[in-house]
Amino acid sequence: MQLKFSKQERDALHRIHLLSGRSYEEVREVYEGFLYSIVLSYLEKEPICFPFFGEMEIKFLKDSITKNGREAELDVSFQPSKLLKRIIGQIEDREETDIEKTLKAKIHESLNDLLDEKE
């Protein structure tokens, strides 16, 4: 079975590809791996860990019949990580966020690498 992403999902993958500097295919493969990990966590009845973001728990409620066929109804809960809460707090407090600091350092490093190559 070939996994297909919606336009919104493809746009999100493209954005991650641009921000990370990784190829689109690499990003796509990581998210496919994430799907497999989520399913395994569900089967093992363990919380699903999203590194940097938090944990999610999924509970099956029942099946429903929709115009597209059977679909599971789920109860989903999410507990954000301390990092995510700190970054959101920094944004709301109009502080320079940890993310901005990290991106600035990466840009600075990339520029230095380019300058070193020119010499």
Q: Which long-range contacts (CB under 8 A, 24 or more apart) does 2-7 make?
A: 3/32, 3/35
Report field, pTM of the whole predicted structure over 0.75: no
CA distance 38 to 44: 10
pLDDT score for 93: 96
Sequence spans of domains, the chain: 1-46, 47-80, 81-119
Higher pLDDT: 1 or 57? It is: 57
Q: 73 - beta bridge partners?
A: 62
Q: What is the pLDDT of residues 67-111, one digit of tens each?
A: 888 999 999 999 999 999 999 999 999 999 988 998 888 888 888
Q: Which long-range contacts (CB under 8 A, 24 or more apart) does 105-109 make?
A: none
CA distance 8 to 53: 20
